[in-house]
Amino acid sequence: MSQFFQVHPVNPQPRLIKQAAQIIHGGGIVAVPTDSCYALVCHLDDKGAVERLRRIRGIDEKHHLTLLCRDLSELGVYARVDNRQFRLLKAATPGPFTFILEATKCVPRRLSHPSRKTIGLRVPEDAIMHALLEELQQPLLGTTLIMPDEDEPLNDADIICERLGKQLELIIDGGACSMEPTTVIDLTGDDAELVRQGRGDASMFGL
């Protein structure tokens, strides 16, 4: 069964954040609240955890997983960003957006899109997620917690525990999240392209 941590949404307890990071380092998959909805996250370099995360979500390798980064400088390590893209990213981060960008060689090939060599990245604005990323000192690999064949994300930790308690190592209860996932913007072309409308306001990209 999963461990279940009740973490303060504004002032996360350092002891619990440290324990959560240890679980992730040990190959665990964690359900964690974000500034959009709950996400499933695991260690970037743990192939077994990544494969298990995909099985839980019912998605294949063509589905973009997202790198959750502390800030734009960390995002720039994993994605190629030109001046135009940087200005757009700076205006929208941190926040409830996921950006599709060209992956750098720092991204394991198995994590980028198999044909396009792109990766989804985001800088979340959430105290719990930010504390976890600071503790880990590297990005997390994540995906919106939407179950196979369902349209709405799970946003209540107790329900997540009921449904996924045997498949996850940890569920972090930081209170109910938004029911809206991130807005996904593809920045790989000459113009920004709206892939999915979510909580983020796409009008700032002229969309």
Quick one: pLDDT at residue 38? Answer: 94
Region of 17 please: left (phi>0), alpha (psi -120 to 50) or beta.
Answer: alpha
pLDDT in tens, 14-55: 999 999 999 999 999 999 999 999 999 999 989 999 999 999
Quick one: pLDDT at residue 166? Answer: 94
pLDDT in tens, 156-193: 999 999 999 999 999 999 987 888 899 999 999 989 99
- 74, two tokens: 């960390």
pLDDT class of 149 with cuts at 50, 70, 90:
confident
Question: How many domains, the chain?
Answer: 1
Query: How many whole angstroms separate alpha carbon 119 and alpha carbon 121?
Result: 6
| Domain CATH for 96 | 3.90.870.10
Question: For residue 200, what are the domain limits?
Answer: 3-205
pLDDT in tens, 97-142: 999 999 998 887 777 766 678 999 999 999 999 999 999 999 999 9
Quick one: pLDDT at residue 115? Answer: 67
Q: State residue 151 phi and psi, 5-degree precision.
A: -105, -30
pLDDT class of 61 with cuts at 50, 70, 90:
confident
pTM of the model: 0.92
Place of tokens 């990005």: 139
Query: How many whole angstroms separate alpha carbon 43 and alpha carbon 137?
Result: 11
